[in-house]
Amino acid sequence: MKFPILFLWIFLIFLVTLPVSAKDTNQASSKENRVESILPSRPESGSPWGDSSERLDTIQVLNLVDEKNSEKRWQDANKEYSFAIDHFESGKKNIEKRKEDSKKEIYYEDRYEWQKQIRKENKEKEFQKQLFDLRTQTVTRLVKGMTLLDKIENPKVKDSAPYLDLKSGIYREYIKHQEAFKNYLQVIDFTHRYIDLSSKNEKEAEPHRLLALSYEKMEQTAIRSKNQELYYEFKELKKKHLLRFAEIHYGRDSKEFATIEEKVGKDF
C-alpha cells in the first residue's frame, strides 16, 4: 500500500458518493468499534511496540560503506531518535506529576461543585494541550531522523542491520504518536513502510493490529461519505490484517484464531 494511493482514496471519498446499501450501513453502524472488541488494547508483552521504547547504541558501520558520510548520518539519526524517546518520556512524566499535584490543590474560592468541575475540566484541557505539544515536538525529531537516514544511498548500508533497526525504531515511535493523534492515514502508510523494511517486522503482531484498527476507522469514514467502493476496499484490508494478527499473536491452531477466522468468514 503506497502513500500516494492512500491520499487518492481519501480524495475520492469527498468527490465520489456511491451510496452504500442501507443494510451495509446499518450493519456497520451497529458494530461500531467491533475490531477493538476482539483485539488486545495493548502490544503483547516483550514487544518493541511496548511502553519502554528501544534505544540503539552507536554502532560502527563504516566498514560496511563506501560513502564516507554514511556513518555520520546514521549516528546523527540515532541521536535524534534517542533524544525523541528521552524527551517524550521525561516530558510525559513531568506532565503526569503536575497532573497528580494539581489534584491536591485546594481553591477556596470554588464554593460550588460546578465551579470545581469547570476548574477540573480546564486543568485537564491544559494537560492535554501540553501532551499534544510534547508529541508534536517528538514527531519533529523523528522526522528529522528519517530525513537523515533517507540521505544514505549506499546499498550496503541500507541493507545492514544497524540501518534497518534504526529506521524500524524511528517508524515505530512515529506510528505510536500518529495513532495518539488519530491520524489513521499516517498510521496506515508508515505501518506498511515498517512491514516492508524486513521480514522480521512483518512477523510482528502489533503492526497488523494497528492496521486492522486503522482500516476499520477508514471503513467508517467511507460509510459516512457513502462511498461503496472504498467501504469494501477498506473492509477487506481490515479483515486481511485482522487474520494476520490472529495468526501471529495466537497461532493458527488456537481457538482464538478459529473464532476470529469464523467471524471474518461471516463478513465481520
pLDDT single digits (tens) 79-119: 999 999 999 999 999 999 999 999 888 888 888 999 999 99
Give the whole-angstrom CA distance, residue 174 versus residue 226: 31
Instruction: Write the DSSP symbol of residue 163.
Output: H
Residue 110 confidence (pLDDT): 85
Q: How far is CA 89 from CA 44, 102, 131, 197, 229, in A?
A: 20, 20, 11, 26, 42
Amino acid at 237: L
Residue 38: pLDDT above 80? Answer: no
Residue 70 confidence (pLDDT): 84
Give the whole-angstrom CA distance, residue 143 versus residue 163: 15
Residue 133: pLDDT above 90? Answer: yes
Give the whole-angstrom CA distance, residue 136 versus residue 134: 5
Average pLDDT, integer, range 13-35: 49
Residue 18 confidence (pLDDT): 43
